[in-house]
Chains A and B, each alone.
Chain A
Amino acid sequence: MIRRLQFIGLCIVVAVAAFSTGEAFLFFLVYLGLLIGGGSYIVTRVGLADIEAGYAISQLSGHVGDRLRVTYTIRNTGRLPKPWLEIHNPTSLPGGLPGRALSLGSRSERSWMVRVPLTRRGHFRIDPLQVRTGDPFGFFEASAGVGHGFTLVVYPRIDALPFWRLPPASIEGAHAAPERTLQTTALATAVRPYAPGDSMNRIHWRTTARASEIFVKEFELEQTTDVWLYLDLDAEYEAGEGDNSTTEVAIRAAASIADKAIAENRAVGLTVSGHHAIVVPADRGARQRLKILQLLAAVEADGSTPLDEVLVTGIGRLRRGMTAVVVTATHDPAFIRPLATLRSRGVGVVVVALDQALFAPPADHEAAEALRQHSRALHHALAEYQLPAYTVGPGVRLDEVLAR
């Protein structure tokens, strides 16, 4: 094939031949080559001169299902029109950000907005805006980067779980849900008018003085306090694809449960058994929510440690009154025994089991039957130890499945 050096050599030969012979056809070639080559070079060189461009991103974080809005502006401040400009943002976002090809007249401006759905959780890079131009023949090309890059964090989708209730830890004075009680507890939550039989020590004197009527305090049972989530990301039990994979559904379930628990002002801790076991100590509040979501945005199903080992290792972190929520796709019942021992220590237990047979039913009938048997055996073992369990499949609504 023709190399660049050979091409240049050929051009020189033609030019020398033209000036030696004065032949019209050789001069035509020389002039045409000069105009096309030189014109292409000039068009490319001036193509990015006097151009101002910028972009703005509506948010630097979001949840799966949100829409990202990016606003682009490009302005030609020069007199020469720009016949060909390509604008795009290189990004690691799935599907990318749509670019645009346009031409700009002299001293003109174009602005537009693109909306991109966030389809996958993760940390994504949005590189500086690239403006590219060139000649129609592809001889020359020029490009420039504009602005700074950003990191966009896409958190997992959070499903509202209005009917989700944590099981109570087996300690006195604790309950899974707010509940009025006649006993005097540390949780004085409301006042009501005095009724005959109410104890004198329950009178709320300030309200009584303000209202000129006797009011008494109402008490609630203390809720189970902390939640510790165990998210099992063992690669061996990964099944399904995309949003309907065990990993994505498990992460969505963990995020939704953590969000609900933090909204109820509980302290939430998290252990993720991925490639490395990552532990987020229990805490309350929006900051803890952000920590958990950022971790859940980044994890993958690349773990190899069995769940029972993870539970045994982390069992020391569970205090009396906590509830352990285990989200797993495993069908190995070995993890049930360590969980069962927690009950005697006053730790509540919930298992969210992702059924592999539902996520990736094997084509082979025998393999499918074997998987179903494993699943049945797991649920039987959980029932035997009286551990509450929810079975989750692909494409289900978590608020319905996790309702109790």
Chain B
Amino acid sequence: MTATLTAAREPDAAPRRRSPEEGWSVVVLVAVLGMVLATAIDEPAWVNGDGTLTDNLVWCALAGALVGFAGPKLGWGRWTTHGIGALFAGLLLPIIAGWSVAPGASAPDAFRATADGAVEAYLDLTVRGLQFTTQEVHYVLVLSGLVWATMQFGSYAVFGHRRPLSAVIVVGLVLMVNMALTKRDQLAWLVLFAAVSLFLLVQMHAVGERATWARRRIGDPGSISLLYLRGGTVFIVGAMAVSLILTQRAASSPLAGAWTGLRGQLLQVGEQVGRLFPTGGDVRGGGGVVFGESARISALWFSDNGVAFTATVPPEAATAPRST
């Protein structure tokens, strides 16, 4: 007790830092990035149109971001952080995925449900030679892993490497792929993501400049950061408003004709790969029809003005008298 009191009264003892060096605002911005990504992936209900199965993606994003934040703060290196993050993900994600198909199950049961579902899916697609699998939990597991890994990488890029642009690009790429695959209008999520990303870039730039300001004795770094953020906010709001207006007024596809030759090949590839993916999510069609031994029926009906197929009739059949 005496030692504790003495230490507490030590006048030269440095005050213990309770906030991260980057500030809590950066932590919040990274968390919001993850939530936007998870919600955008959850919204199209990728797993067979059942949106409830991917409701837990937000928690996976936050958990991944937490690992990427905690690693640098605890002094872990890049590979240690990612290794420990992968370990946690390996333990937690099967349970979370299991709870999505078996709500209320105990953690071991949820884990077992995920394991069984994943094995069955593998057997369906490889051993049994089925065109499609009826299992769902492995899709949830893969989506959860994707969100967790993306956010862990992004968060470590911000707090470990101090490279927020890398985080924005990687998370943005996943978001863009998601938006490209679904027909749902997710522009609002992209706008929110862009705003948060730009604020993150401004904040992190101010954090990086603080050391320079302190070295050059340029006033109080805290108040200068506010000045910086104020200028950045005006810039961001202006740029986003103009971008939205231009998007509404000036969007066309002058290069669409350049890819017509590729459509058929893309459809073939899509059919081959599509058997591994779930139905749902209002998948964007290729604008054509492929005839094969089997076809998957999605939850959405859409019409297309394009030519579905061309039938070539033999000349003798065309001239033969029609029987009555």
A and B held together in a complex: yes
Cross-chain contact A16 with B255 (CB below 8 angstroms): yes
B165 interfacial by beta-carbon distance below 8 Å: yes
Cα distance, A100 to B227, chains bound together (Å): 13
Given contacts A32-B243, A36-B235, A101-B227, 15 further A-B contacts (CB under 8 A): A1-B161, A2-B163, A16-B255, A20-B256, A20-B259, A24-B248, A25-B186, A25-B190, A26-B176, A27-B251, A86-B216, A100-B219, A101-B213, A101-B218, A137-B202
Nearest CB of chain B from residue A75's CB, rounded to whole Å = 19
Other-chain residue from B170, B224, B229, B256 in contact with A21 (beta carbon distance below 8 A): B256
Residue of B with least CB distance to A37 = B239
A338 interfacial by beta-carbon distance below 8 Å: no
Contacting residues, chain B, for A138 (C-beta < 8 A): 201, 205, 208-209
Contacting residues, chain A, for B217 (C-beta < 8 A): 88, 95-99
Cross-chain contact B246 with A27 (CB below 8 angstroms): yes
User: Taking each of A1, A95, A98, which has the highest tally of chain B beta carbons within 10 Å of its own beta carbon?
Assistant: A1
Contacting residues, chain B, for A242 (C-beta < 8 A): none
Cα distance, A98 to B248, chains bound together (Å): 49
Cβ contacts A162-199/B at 8 Å (1 or 0 each): 00000000000000000000000000000000000000
> For window 272-324 of chain A, which residues contact chain B by CB distance below 8 Å?
none
Other-chain residue from A31, A35, A84 in contact with B231 (beta carbon distance below 8 A): A84
14 contacts across the A-B interface (CB closer than 8 A) = A1-B157, A20-B255, A22-B256, A28-B190, A28-B247, A31-B243, A83-B231, A96-B217, A97-B217, A98-B218, A103-B227, A136-B205, A136-B231, A138-B205
A49 interfacial by beta-carbon distance below 8 Å: no
Nearest CB of chain A from residue B304's CB, rounded to whole Å = 15
Cα distance, A101 to B166, chains bound together (Å): 28
Cross-chain contact A28 with B187 (CB below 8 angstroms): yes
Contacting residues, chain A, for B215 (C-beta < 8 A): 96
Cross-chain contact A27 with B216 (CB below 8 angstroms): no
Nearest CB of chain A from residue B201's CB, rounded to whole Å = 5
Contacting residues, chain B, for A97 (C-beta < 8 A): 217
Contacting residues, chain A, for B213 (C-beta < 8 A): 101
What's the dominant secondary structure at chain B's contact region? helix
Cross-chain contact A31 with B169 (CB below 8 angstroms): no
Nearest CB of chain A from residue B254's CB, rounded to whole Å = 6
> For window 225-281 of chain B, which residues contact chain A by CB distance below 8 Å?
227-229, 231-232, 235, 238-240, 242-244, 246-248, 250-256, 258-259
B107 interfacial by beta-carbon distance below 8 Å: no
Contacting residues, chain B, for A86 (C-beta < 8 A): 216, 218
Cross-chain contact B169 with A20 (CB below 8 angstroms): no
Residue of A with least CB distance to B240 = A32
A362 interfacial by beta-carbon distance below 8 Å: no
Cα distance, A43 to B236, chains bound together (Å): 13
Nearest CB of chain A from residue B139's CB, rounded to whole Å = 24
Other-chain residue from A22, A83, A103 in contact with B253 (beta carbon distance below 8 A): A22
Cα distance, A83 to B235, chains bound together (Å): 11
Cα distance, A20 to B240, chains bound together (Å): 23
Contacting residues, chain B, for A1 (C-beta < 8 A): 157, 161, 163, 166
Nearest CB of chain B from residue A98's CB, rounded to whole Å = 4
B102 interfacial by beta-carbon distance below 8 Å: no
Cross-chain contact A101 with B202 (CB below 8 angstroms): no
B179 interfacial by beta-carbon distance below 8 Å: yes
Other-chain residue from A2, A96, A136 in contact with B169 (beta carbon distance below 8 A): A2
Nearest CB of chain A from residue B176's CB, rounded to whole Å = 8
Cross-chain contact B191 with A28 (CB below 8 angstroms): yes
Residue of A with least CB distance to B188 = A25
Cβ contacts A77-88/B at 8 Å (1 or 0 each): 000000110101
Cα distance, A31 to B190, chains bound together (Å): 13
Contacting residues, chain B, for A98 (C-beta < 8 A): 216-218
Contacting residues, chain A, for B186 (C-beta < 8 A): 25
We find that the number of chain A residues with CB closer than 8 angstroms to chain B is: 40
Cross-chain contact A88 with B218 (CB below 8 angstroms): yes
Cross-chain contact B216 with A96 (CB below 8 angstroms): yes
Cross-chain contact A21 with B218 (CB below 8 angstroms): no
We find that the number of chain B residues with CB closer than 8 angstroms to chain A is: 54
Residue of A with least CB distance to B173 = A10
Contacting residues, chain A, for B228 (C-beta < 8 A): 84, 136
Nearest CB of chain B from residue A73's CB, rounded to whole Å = 17
Other-chain residue from B191, B205, B218, B250 in contact with A137 (beta carbon distance below 8 A): B205
Cross-chain contact A25 with B187 (CB below 8 angstroms): yes
Given A28-B190, A96-B217, residue A20 in contact with residue B253 (CB < 8 A):
yes
Given A22-B251, A96-B216, residue A35 in contact with residue B256 (CB < 8 A):
no
Residue of B with least CB distance to A83 = B231
Cβ contacts A208-251/B at 8 Å (1 or 0 each): 00000000000000000000000000000000000000000000
User: Taking each of A1, A7, A16, A137, which has the highest tally of chain B beta carbons within 10 Å of its own beta carbon?
Assistant: A137
Given A22-B252, A36-B239, A101-B218, residue A28 in contact with residue B244 (CB < 8 A):
yes
Given A101-B227, A136-B235, residue A31 in contact with residue B256 (CB < 8 A):
no
Contacting residues, chain B, for A385 (C-beta < 8 A): none
> For window 100-136 of chain B, which residues contact chain A by CB distance below 8 Å?
none
Residue of B with least CB distance to A100 = B218
B198 interfacial by beta-carbon distance below 8 Å: yes
Nearest CB of chain A from residue B168's CB, rounded to whole Å = 9
Given A24-B247, A39-B239, A100-B219, residue A29 in contact with residue B166 (CB < 8 A):
no
Given A25-B179, A35-B239, A100-B218, residue A136 in contact with residue B232 (CB < 8 A):
yes
> For window 181-202 of chain B, which residues contact chain A by CB distance below 8 Å?
185-187, 190-191, 194, 198, 201-202
User: Taking each of B215, B216, B219, B243, which has the highest tally of chain A beta carbons within 10 Å of its own beta carbon?
Assistant: B216
Nearest CB of chain B from residue A14's CB, rounded to whole Å = 8
A150 interfacial by beta-carbon distance below 8 Å: no
Cα distance, A21 to B259, chains bound together (Å): 10
Other-chain residue from A19, A31, A35, A137 in contact with B201 (beta carbon distance below 8 A): A137
Contacting residues, chain B, for A29 (C-beta < 8 A): 176, 190, 194
What are the nearest 4 A-B pairs in CB distance?
A22-B253, A136-B232, A138-B205, A98-B217
Cross-chain contact B251 with A24 (CB below 8 angstroms): yes
Residue of A with least CB distance to B258 = A20
Nearest CB of chain B from residue A67's CB, rounded to whole Å = 16
Contacting residues, chain B, for A35 (C-beta < 8 A): 238-239, 242-243
